[in-house]
Structure 1
């Protein structure tokens, strides 16, 4: 009956969750009541449809923002330093590297003997009935007590290189983990640089939008002045005000993009989105030199220092060592065992005086184990190791191909971005001249107001295109440096060759 009751309680535990896919879950006031029979339909309709969850104040504790100096403007080097100290991705990579290093220590420890100390103690009481009573006793009792301390040694002497292969696996994996740790810092440096330049582009677009708003107001002032002198029309005034409203809308949109870019920068740094700081202006930053096609020497040097390529190569070498470890499982193993023990025992029978005995023993054994049959486990493990090795080799080759492709694409992108910036700069100069001429011509009544508003919009487009091309050139230069494995420090991120 007790077993049936417990079985029923276990089945009732399903009431810890929702009664149906369309019914909200809610915790019970008393968790133990979930084991007792109950009817979920007892809930009110509102409770069954309320998909809110219970709050927990412990989950509301967030990481505080880093200390920001009031009034200080943070440039790219300071932002990179802050990201290196606060980004959780680098801490995770560091923990992975430490775990891989500990695995090396575990593999090396298998070469050493294992020594253990053991103590066994106990007592045994044996009562034997007597066929004839003696001195009023109808049974005979004996008691044996003993304590046996022992020191045991186990040592695997020879295993056809299995432990050495396992150590090689651990060493290669630890090397890969350390490379990936440095590579994660390179990734963080690159991400912060890209987010910084994009924030700068958003700031430049906002500046251009505000300049355009000022230009639109100048056109509106000219339309009001012509209207006051009886030379303009209400349509011209309405068109001018429409242009002001349109320019104001673009300012609002540019402000939203700037806020989004700022959060993107904080996200790349891995710090709290509640952080408030001033970010340096990148609009005056000089652009890198134009480059030609990547050479074979450039690509070979990049492959020799890119973290992802080196890590993939180490993983491949680790998988090859794993094959050797699996092959050694088919071969014999030679081991040595030794033991040193003592025996302290006592024996007493009935009312007779106890008898004590002390003894020591020691021995050394050398043994060989020869694997004969394991139901195919070793063969499956060997095939698994070979499959993993083939996959690691394919991953290494794929990583190389991806790296080469990224270098070529980054170089092409940089050339395109620099050419775009040159063209956008020429367009901005021409659009500025066109706007000034169109505004002056409208003031003098030589051209309609539409020429001025069109020139105003064209100047905005040209300025924003120039800002985007400037940022795109800086982003492309950073991408090329990252693809070449050269984004290794904050100095490398900020040291871009100028034209």
Structure 2
């Protein structure tokens, strides 16, 4: 006899508790439409802990002057891109271990306990019998021959692992390149501040000279006003340069996974060694890139993986020889009414050797081979395309370095000439030989020359970094942790 449950009525306290418990998960996370059209919707989920708080940002020491190598090391240690690529490579390593495990036999231990009571129909009655079985068994399975299928899977997994390791190095290469680019932008902005401060000093000197000549009665008020206007323009340019420096500082801190408003110091541009010439030819640089670029090497490993997949697909055309065996101990109890029960036990085993050969599959194996070959051809084409891209990238970077060298020499000559011209114009103006227009023109030329000198010096470093990235040389001094 079944008992029927009674639902609580709506007026009962039990009903209220049931409703509250049932609706609580929905009301806590329910989405409601905005109540008014003139204000944005507030989800109200911040108090539920669904909004992530600030991450564990790295703290930079404001009293320490960080060198470029230290900044690169900090970025490699803290940027999550390296940990993501490392974890992916570790996963590929486990897949290789899984593929290798197919070379070994599989041993399984099992225990079985079963009991049953059944009847055998004899004339008009059932003869009932009870049977209980307890079985302990060890099962061994092993593929003796597969004509290269397992070896193909192992070679494919090994190639994928090497490709993942090379991509792990590529992540480091790109991260170092990002640090260098942000660092040089900061150096450019910092140099522009120094140049703007020097320009303000020059503009202030011109204004003081104009006021002095006005006091002597040999200059006009418009001359003084124009000199003051030039000084105000220099102040404006200085503040703009300081703002750009703050932005560049925040960009560099972001690459380091530090807070953008971090207060820190880095080594100056003057402390960085800048070479004058390249010690290798363009052909040597291209050959080095084709041998070292991790992204190109990763694609080459993908070709090897595709080739191994073709080998595995070919093995499906051949038979597979397998062994399977069981060895165990069986103990059983049996009883048939009205006879007494009895126990029995025995060692049991089973062994089989099977040869399986797919004779017809509707073209599946043929299509799988064609698919594997198409993947291999595509991977080979990608390698050829990447080689051309790398060669062109190295050639452009090599040409940019030589151009940057010439620009730096020209900027140095320009700065020297502009400084001499400004000093001569200032002295001549004080002596009354030159007018204010000539002096202001010389001042503007000097300001442009200072900016061009900073741009040219940083340009050399940027072009050298681009060349080192395109050839893979950046990994020689920055890779501090081994690949998985």
1:398 CA drift (Å): 1.4
1:145 CA drift (Å): 1.7
Distance (Å, rounded) in 2 between the aligned partners of 1:64 and 1:316: 40
- Asked if 2 retains the 8 angstrom alpha-carbon contact of 1:113 and 1:153, the reply is yes
Judged with a 3 Å threshold, the aligned counterparts in structure 2 of structure 1 residues 374 and 255 are, in CA distance, closer, same or farther, namely: farther
Match of 2:8 in 1: none
1:85 CA drift (Å): 1.3
TM-score, with normalisation over the residues of structure 1?
0.83
Aligned residue for 2:269, secondary structure, equals: coil
- Asked if 2 retains the 8 angstrom alpha-carbon contact of 1:66 and 1:275, the reply is no
Distance (Å, rounded) in 2 between the aligned partners of 1:128 and 1:362: 29
Q: Deviations over 1:207-240 (max 9, x none)?
A: 0011101111112222222333333333222212
Distance (Å, rounded) in 1 between the aligned partners of 2:435 and 2:24: 79
* Between 382-391 and 61-70, the greater mean CA deviation after superposition: 61-70
Match of 2:106 in 1: 114
* Between 267-276 and 398-407, the greater mean CA deviation after superposition: 267-276
Matched, 1:386 2:382: no
1:375 CA drift (Å): 4.0
- Asked if 2 retains the 8 angstrom alpha-carbon contact of 1:215 and 1:456, the reply is yes
1:298 CA drift (Å): 4.1
Distance (Å, rounded) in 1 between the aligned partners of 2:59 and 2:36: 49
Match of 2:58 in 1: 66
Match of 1:303 in 2: 290
1:334 CA drift (Å): 0.8
- Asked if 2 retains the 8 angstrom alpha-carbon contact of 1:209 and 1:247, the reply is yes
- Asked if 1 retains the 8 angstrom alpha-carbon contact of 2:113 and 2:134, the reply is yes
Matched, 1:243 2:234: no
Judged with a 3 Å threshold, the aligned counterparts in structure 2 of structure 1 residues 448 and 80 are, in CA distance, closer, same or farther, namely: same
Match of 1:16 in 2: none
Q: Deviations over 1:250-299 (max 9, x none)?
A: 11111122122222322333444354321110135342132488353443
Gapped runs of 5+ residues in structure 2?
A: 1-22
CA RMSD between the two structures: 2.9
Match of 1:155 in 2: 142
Structure 1 counterpart of 2:95, from 80, 85, 103: 103
Structure 2 counterpart of 1:123, from 108, 112, 115: 115
1:462 CA drift (Å): 0.7
1:34 CA drift (Å): 11
Judged with a 3 Å threshold, the aligned counterparts in structure 2 of structure 1 residues 211 and 423 are, in CA distance, closer, same or farther, namely: same
Judged with a 3 Å threshold, the aligned counterparts in structure 2 of structure 1 residues 298 and 114 are, in CA distance, closer, same or farther, namely: same
Match of 1:15 in 2: none
Matched, 1:78 2:70: yes
Distance (Å, rounded) in 2 between the aligned partners of 1:404 and 1:461: 36
* Between 185-194 and 204-213, the greater mean CA deviation after superposition: 185-194
Distance (Å, rounded) in 2 between the aligned partners of 1:63 and 1:240: 51
TM-score, with normalisation over the residues of structure 2?
0.86
- Asked if 2 retains the 8 angstrom alpha-carbon contact of 1:64 and 1:272, the reply is no
Aligned length: 456
Distance (Å, rounded) in 2 between the aligned partners of 1:85 and 1:203: 26
Judged with a 3 Å threshold, the aligned counterparts in structure 2 of structure 1 residues 30 and 242 are, in CA distance, closer, same or farther, namely: farther
- Asked if 1 retains the 8 angstrom alpha-carbon contact of 2:149 and 2:315, the reply is yes
Match of 1:337 in 2: 324
Gapped runs of 5+ residues in structure 1?
A: 1-28, 133-137, 494-499
- Asked if 1 retains the 8 angstrom alpha-carbon contact of 2:72 and 2:478, the reply is no
Match of 1:478 in 2: 465
1:93 CA drift (Å): 1.8
Q: Deviations over 1:345-388 (max 9, x none)?
A: 21223464322222221121110111133344333322221121
Judged with a 3 Å threshold, the aligned counterparts in structure 2 of structure 1 residues 149 and 286 are, in CA distance, closer, same or farther, namely: closer
Match of 1:191 in 2: 178
Structure 2 counterpart of 1:418, from 397, 402, 405: 405
Judged with a 3 Å threshold, the aligned counterparts in structure 2 of structure 1 residues 372 and 131 are, in CA distance, closer, same or farther, namely: closer
- Asked if 1 retains the 8 angstrom alpha-carbon contact of 2:331 and 2:344, the reply is yes
Aligned residue for 2:340, secondary structure, equals: coil
